Structure 1
């Protein structure tokens, strides 16, 4: 068999995954792929199923698998169940024993960051050797830390060896939304192009387009993009969170949207922040409660 058989198909699976087209990833026929491409394709398909909430079936399928890549995917599935602590322990063990494995680096970085172990996540991800997904996760972490300077540095370095990569273009668009100014419009063009192309349209590209529109002050256009995203997936976390922002900006009632987000992801940063602010408000208000004399 040709050792490069199916290279183009693997790239299609790769791109579909990063565009959030999880149904498409799962449905790909991987039989034509070469032996060396079978495992990477399977990992993308398993991760797509996890993204769709198929945790238990993935765990059952991976029971007894010993490859570091599959052990990392299994830990990712566990992290989304009640086995969260076990998942973190397994990832930390994999980071020690197989820290040079690209899949372990990426999935380990995701799990550790979500667990609040940012330094560990960055230490693992920084071991990558030309792994664009690792770059994109590092960029997201740096933006979450409000270290836009380091995010820019990461994207700039990656562009030197992956100029035309979809992943790098998306990461640069994320950075642009943080930098602001004319970068808002540039980021909008990236997400608009992805959203309009039938082969790349996804909730991710529509949400990115909507966020760009919000920053540009084009609220009606942002609403259209978010509605399209929620039509594709009514439970899309990013779309729900940004719909709350849009509704607040337009003076609407955010109660239903907040409840929907909380139901989908109780630990979402916005949900936790709103709960904290409500608690602080109630505490402050209690100091000024009305005293009614008989």
Structure 2
């Protein structure tokens, strides 16, 4: 079983909290010479996964090397190759890479972190390939409570929420809570389900994000911004868009290069009944500037165009 020392545990938690830049920075600081042993391997695996989440596929390869003998690292590299093939529209190559990914289950020792990470990436690739049922089977969440691989359970919950099976997602969360109540991913599962369910569950999601944003490991730094974003979403869902906007402004001060926050502020500002026209105009201008770099901004622009066209059709 892989020993998770305090530094590696912190790197892992930064990845779980979507603090990807912080995860990469910490991993490189504590594994400056590349993969030297099992500990440095695990640290750099999380750095590579964070790079993929940021869209930096080449960075992921750089951290792990283009060729690796470790199944855990191989799964990360193959997943990066899979995404690259999908981005090119090369479905045949993507399917070939997916087969290579699936073959790693035969060499990853069950119960080890390596097997969990391998299974996670296979499930992720299968879901991206529209093989949802198979993805859930690989992740071990086809029957509630059968898996104790927490990353796989968390991804399974995400997939179940994406296909609108909140009931099954909640069963997986409740089963995981029986043996991992204080673990970070279990708390996030509670928050995700709360945001989808709405009502009182949204209030609980807010409490989860609020508590996590105050953690000494991330508080008052750019690493806490993703959690602050979750908190703002919960506030907006609770009918408190002005408080949500304040939260996002504080987050933007901690990470001034985050274009997503600009778009989120614009979206939340539109929900505020007391937002001035000057504020709306300023946010709209910022949204246009962010459009080349933000999928949210691009979607916003597309919806604005659709609305303008609809209004024009009635003129």
> Does the C-alpha gap of structure 1 residues 262 and 116 become closer, same or farther in structure 2, counting only changes over 3 Å?
farther
Residues 1:118 and 2:116 aligned together: no
**Cα offset, 1:57, TM superposition:** 3.4
Corresponding residue to 2:173 among 139, 142, 155: 155
- 2:6 aligns to what? 8
Corresponding residue to 1:51 among 31, 43, 53: 53
Structure 1 segment 16-27 matched on structure 2, within 5 A: 16-26=14-24, 27=26
> Does the C-alpha gap of structure 1 residues 89 and 277 become closer, same or farther in structure 2, counting only changes over 3 Å?
farther
Aligned equivalents of 1:181, 1:125: Cα separation in 2 = 30
Structure 1 segment 135-146 matched on structure 2, within 5 A: 135-146=153-164
Whether the 8 Å CA contact 1:187–1:212 is kept in 2: the answer is yes
Q: Which 10-residue stretch deviates more, 143-152 or 223-232?
A: 223-232
- 2:257 aligns to what? 234
- 2:214 aligns to what? 196
Aligned equivalents of 1:77, 1:263: Cα separation in 2 = 23
Residues 1:223 and 2:245 aligned together: yes
Pairs aligned (count): 282
Corresponding residue to 1:264 among 285, 293, 296: 293
**Cα offset, 1:198, TM superposition:** 3.5
TM-score, normalised with respect to structure 2: 0.74
- 1:105 aligns to what? 119
**Cα offset, 1:77, TM superposition:** 2.9
- 2:268 aligns to what? 246
- 1:165 aligns to what? 183
- 2:79 aligns to what? 76
Aligned equivalents of 1:18, 1:259: Cα separation in 2 = 30
> Does the C-alpha gap of structure 1 residues 229 and 289 become closer, same or farther in structure 2, counting only changes over 3 Å?
same
RMSD: 3.5
Measured against aligned partners, the alpha-carbon deviations of 1:22-43 in whole angstroms (never above 9, x if no partner) come to: 3332224148x99544432221
> Does the C-alpha gap of structure 1 residues 23 and 57 become closer, same or farther in structure 2, counting only changes over 3 Å?
closer
> Does the C-alpha gap of structure 1 residues 189 and 276 become closer, same or farther in structure 2, counting only changes over 3 Å?
closer
> SS state of the match for residue 183, structure 1?
helix
Q: Which 10-residue stretch deviates more, 101-110 or 165-174?
A: 101-110
Measured against aligned partners, the alpha-carbon deviations of 1:137-159 in whole angstroms (never above 9, x if no partner) come to: 11111222222111111100110
Measured against aligned partners, the alpha-carbon deviations of 1:220-243 in whole angstroms (never above 9, x if no partner) come to: 210122223334163364x45543
Aligned equivalents of 1:182, 1:168: Cα separation in 2 = 18
TM-score, normalised with respect to structure 1: 0.78
**Cα offset, 1:96, TM superposition:** 4.2
> Does the C-alpha gap of structure 1 residues 221 and 138 become closer, same or farther in structure 2, counting only changes over 3 Å?
same
**Cα offset, 1:14, TM superposition:** 1.5
Aligned equivalents of 1:155, 1:223: Cα separation in 2 = 30
Aligned equivalents of 2:126, 2:298: Cα separation in 1 = 20
Residues 1:64 and 2:67 aligned together: yes
Measured against aligned partners, the alpha-carbon deviations of 1:50-86 in whole angstroms (never above 9, x if no partner) come to: 3344322333453122433222211333355466344
